[in-house]
């Protein structure tokens, strides 16, 4: 081959790159966005209103700019761990435990009667009840964030968890037995593969957010949030808690140290029940009459069913379109799906506290969110 002739192998690689088909071995993908788009394309009970999505993007950008919404906002909450005070490895252990158990806090009881945790003179519900309970347990000398404790079947029992997550009301924390099973499994996996330390798990991902998500899904069945949609052979991946664990590390460490990920923007929104709720109230998500009736009637929607998968997947795709719209309108601004999710979740909780909810969230009881 002369110097003037093109190398056919290089040409083939260039074509693949231009066509978006070239994926480097050290650049993993989670597959979450791909699955969400597939469900959206085939959904029959959830749709997106593009005009509302565009309007939402403008409103979200304006409010995030006004509030100066940044990753540092995560650490600003009084319950989230202060890594300077706690220590970096202990902070990683806290976040790992927190997101291992970060699921299913909704209640049909009134605000006064629902499961709640009292900590340092305040009463906490929902997700914050979990964080408060973990903080309280550590204050009381219970090693709730230690994987050795999770493996100790005499110390880490269902009764022990009832004490850790004791409520100041008559309602118990939901799915306590399932939470114990998550702790037990995670303790065993960390022992077998990561020298009992989640820091080693993070280091095994080699600075890749997608890589860490994939490791969590591969090694821990309790993080393997993937489901079959309408008979599709390839499962649709949501990986809500695996992704939020990566996002919490990134936010807590402000993109440095244990929170430094070169591909953090591959993380999607975290498909739960609060973000679909606010996207629906903003007119972005539209439901079929049977689904809307079920949600408004607060009927429980089965985990893994078609309705639930459409709600979650279309929310992921909706936030992705909002992110793209913001990037298009403000090319100099870097806002990823994580920050949009955090912002929407916080906004929905503020609306709930102010009694401004216009539509209830869907009811699904599971360990996935």
Which residues are designated catalytic?
272
Beta strand ranges found along the chain (DSSP E): 46-48, 117-119, 122-124, 226-227, 236-237, 285-287
Q: How far apart are CA 135 and CA 142, in angstroms?
A: 10
> What is the three-class DSSP state of 79?
coil
| Dist. CA 217–CA 31, nearest whole Å | 12
Which residues lie closer than 8 Å to 182 by C-beta, 6 or more apart? 100, 101, 222, 367
Query: What is the torsional sign of CA 29, 229, 235, 21?
Result: negative
CA dihedral (24, 29, 35, 38) positive or negative = negative
For residue 146, which of 89, 228, 203, 202 has the smallest C-alpha distance? 89
Closest by CA to 181, choosing from 189, 169, 172, is 189
The pair phi, psi for residue 288, each rounded to 5°, is -65, 155
3-state secondary structure of 338: helix
Name the nearest CA neighbour of 98 among 201, 169, 214, 179: 179
8 A C-beta contact, residue 56 and residue 282? yes
Q: What are the residues facing 226 on neighbouring strands?
A: 237
Beta bridge partners of 124: 117
């Amino acid at each position: 081959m002369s110097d003037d002739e093109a190398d056919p192998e290089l040409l083939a690689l260039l074509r693949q790159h231009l066509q978006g088909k070239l994926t480097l071995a050290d650049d993993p993908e989670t597959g979450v966005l791909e699955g969400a788009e597939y469900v959206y394309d085939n959904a029959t009970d959830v749709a997106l209103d593009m005009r509302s999505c565009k309007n939402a993007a403008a409103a979200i950008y304006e409010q995030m700019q006004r509030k100066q919404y940044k990753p540092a906002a995560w650490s600003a909450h009084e319950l989230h761990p202060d890594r300077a005070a706690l220590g970096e490895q202990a902070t990683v252990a806290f976040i790992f435990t927190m997101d291992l158990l970060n699921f299913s806090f909704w209640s049909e009881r009134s605000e006064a009667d629902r499961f709640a945790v009292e900590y340092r003179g305040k009463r906490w519900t929902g997700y914050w009840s979990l964080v408060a309970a973990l903080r309280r347990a550590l204050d009381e000398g219970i090693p709730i964030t230690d994987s050795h404790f999770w493996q100790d079947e005499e110390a880490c029992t269902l009764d022990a968890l009832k004490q850790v997550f004791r409520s100041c009301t008559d309602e118990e924390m939901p799915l306590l037995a399932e939470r114990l099973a998550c702790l037990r499994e995670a303790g065993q996996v960390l022992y077998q593969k990561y020298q009992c330390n989640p820091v080693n798990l993070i280091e095994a991902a080699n600075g890749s957010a997608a890589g860490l998500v994939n490791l969590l899904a591969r090694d821990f069945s309790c993080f393997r949030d993937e489901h079959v949609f309408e008979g599709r052979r390839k499962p649709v991946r949501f990986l809500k808690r695996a992704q939020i664990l990566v996002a919490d590390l990134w936010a807590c460490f402000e993109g440095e140290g244990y929170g430094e990920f070169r591909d953090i923007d591959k993380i999607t929104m975290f498909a739960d029940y609060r973000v679909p709720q606010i996207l629906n109230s903003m007119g972005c998500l539209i439901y079929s009459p049977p689904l809307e009736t079920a949600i408004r009637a607060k009927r429980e929607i089965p985990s893994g069913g078609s309705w639930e998968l459409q709600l979650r997947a279309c929310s992921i795709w909706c936030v992705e379109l909002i992110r793209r719209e913001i990037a298009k309108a403000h090319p100099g601004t870097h806002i990823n799906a994580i920050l949009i999710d955090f912002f929407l979740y916080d906004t929905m909780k503020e609306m709930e506290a102010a009694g401004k909810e216009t539509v209830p969230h869907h009811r699904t009881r599971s360990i996935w969110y």
